[in-house]
Amino acid sequence: MRAARLKSWARVAVALALLSAGWGARAQTTRAQTKAQASKAKGGEARWRSALERVTAEDLRTHLKYISSDELEGRKTPSRGLDLAAEYIARQFRAAKLEPAGDDGYFQTANWRLSARDASAFRLAFKGGPAVAPEQIGVGFSVAGFNFWEPEGDLSLSGAPVFKVDYANVPASLTREQVEGRVVLTELPAFPRGDMGRALQMLREENEFLSRMRGLGAPLVLAFERRSERARGGRSPRVFDPETRGAGRNTPDFGFGGAQAAPVLFVHGAAGARFYDSLPAGAAQTTADVRVPAPAESPVKVRNVAGLLRGSDPSLKDTYVIVSAHYDHLGVRENCDQTKEDCIFNGANDDGSGTVGVVELASALSKLSPRPKRSILFMTFFGEELGLVGSRYYGRHPLVPLEKTVAQLNMEQIGRTDDSEGPQVGTLAVTGFDYSDVGAALERAGEAEGVRVYKHPTKSDAYFSRSDNQSLADAGVPAHTAGVAFDFPDYHAVGDEWQKIDFDNMTRVVRTVGRALLALADSAQEPRWNEQNPRASRYVDAWKKLHGNSRQ
């Protein structure tokens, strides 16, 4: 019995020893795995940090001094300066050894049309009054690269009766019998500069007036000005995509313009103003002769610039993350004497800053070894200032499959910190912050780089549709714009110069975007639109359509 008990205890002891050894081995394995994972994460962070530290204030300054130089003449779409900028960006992509991703090397070329009126042929004269010089006439009103309230085709009136209306006090009793077939003369208020909200409201009010005049049968409105604020419309050539010509030319909805409003000629000059003042209200004893030739069209080429950093993971390298900016701006002010004043809209912050951010990230991240798992497409778009037309073109003609594009990070106005709401040092706002997972990815990247990435309480949602992320978001791709100063003092002004850029802060911002880019490119998890946010519902639907109505 005693021998049996001893044998039994021996078996228990052996079992306990074996069990203990197994636990120890498993514990050692778990500790080894944890240590290996920590080492891998540490190694990945060191690799990212090494790459991101190649983004420097000195490099950003060097690139931006050229991109926003007078030599590039404001980079208007289309222009010689825009072409010079495109060539420069392509050279930087080539130096970074990115793969050419365009249909013509690093360029995605759009064969568009240029439309221009012969301003020297503008004619306006009154019976018993002065003849107005062509340079004192503006056809329609230009804003954000679009022309509104202009006549379709050729406008020619001979001996047309006129009717004077006080814009500030339009009679409610005005009838079609009084106005029909007459050219309406009026004086519109001075255009407010530097107050975008007031300007848009004023234009909508004027649009109501013009729509009423059209409804009463007026073929044309002549708007007299004391200054030449708006007598420049219809003078600049405009570019458009023949594919979308019948779809509004991608014109954004400003709340004014359209066929319901009467066309307008803006007239300035002291002689014209005196003549206007001399006329009584209502039907005047004079007639007007008007001639505005139809626009002539010619072919033009405009280009997006694209370079690809091929991914390293066999199963993920055919999926893509896009980092982008727009490289165009507003060009040169019309009728400006460059010997006496600054006439060039250099666009250092808008969006030279985002453009050189893309260029610098291309150089820095191309040196990573191993490369990110997903491929990264570096893009700069033309024509953002004309209504996102370059990125819209890309959305219709993608260089990589949209259904394989997991996200887009767009940079806009990342150089200036002097915002109307106060200094924005160490901050980065994201449009549509909580529309998708991308905002959170940028927020985590900002924590590592010492930048507060946040959702602006009003502007993050309001500005979502105002930059090139919108074009891909409409296609279903989680796409957002990151910016520092939504409203800086020299927005769309000649004072937007590189000397006003905070390059140290810009460096931190570009590194933040680069870190988020790497996180998205190295993650097996794709970002998703937020189905719980009603504002994102249209993009959720677009994503499902893009992916065959599958669940996110």
* pTM: predicted TM-score of the whole model, two decimal places: 0.83
Give the per-residue pLDDT at 274.
87
Closest CA to 391 of 309, 462, 323: 323
pLDDT at residue 414, rounded to an integer: 99
Which of 269, 294, 319 is where one domain is finished?
Answer: 294
Domain containing 347 equals 63-114+298-546
Residue 6, in any domain of the structure: no
CATH number at residue 535: 3.40.630.10
DSSP code for 104: B
- Integer CA distances (angstroms), 272 to 129, 137, 518, in order: 8, 11, 61
| Residue 551 belongs to a domain | no
Number of domains comprising the chain:
2
Residues 158-182: pLDDT tens digits?
999 999 999 999 999 999 999 999 9
- Phi/psi for 506 (5° steps) reads -60, -35
Of the candidates 20, 290, 245, the one whose C-alpha atom is nearest the C-alpha of residue 114 is 245
Q: Domain check: are 102 and 198 in the same one?
A: no
Distance CA 521, CA 320 (A): 8
Residue-wise pLDDT for 442-488, tens only, equals 999 999 999 999 999 999 999 999 999 999 999 999 999 999 999 99
**pLDDT, tens only, 293-342:** 999 999 999 999 999 999 999 999 999 999 999 999 999 987 677 778 89
| Whether residue 250 sits in one domain with residue 154 | yes
Residue finishing a domain among 294, 317, 346: 294
Residues 135, 275, single domain; the answer is yes
Query: Is there a single domain that holds both residue 94 and residue 125?
Result: no
Query: What is the sign of the dihedral through the CA atoms of 472, 476, 478 and 483?
Result: positive
Per the domain annotation, does 23 fall within a domain? Answer: no
Residue 467 lies in a domain: yes
Q: What is the pLDDT of residue 379?
A: 99
Last residue of a domain, one of 240, 268, 294: 294
pLDDT tens figures, 113-137: 998 899 999 999 999 888 888 988 9
Residues 447 and 510 sit within 8 Å (Cβ to Cβ): no
41 within some domain: no
pLDDT in tens, 238-247: 888 888 764 4
Task: Give yes or no: residues 388 and 499 share one domain.
Answer: yes
How do residues 60-83 score in pLDDT, each as one tens digit?
999 999 999 999 999 999 999 999
260 and 231: one domain?
yes
- The reply to whether 282 and 302 lie within a common domain is no
Q: Do residues 518 and 542 share a domain?
A: yes
**How many degrees, rounded to 5, is the angle at CA 485 between CA 482 and CA 486?**
80
Query: Are 249 and 200 within 8 A, CB to CB?
Result: no
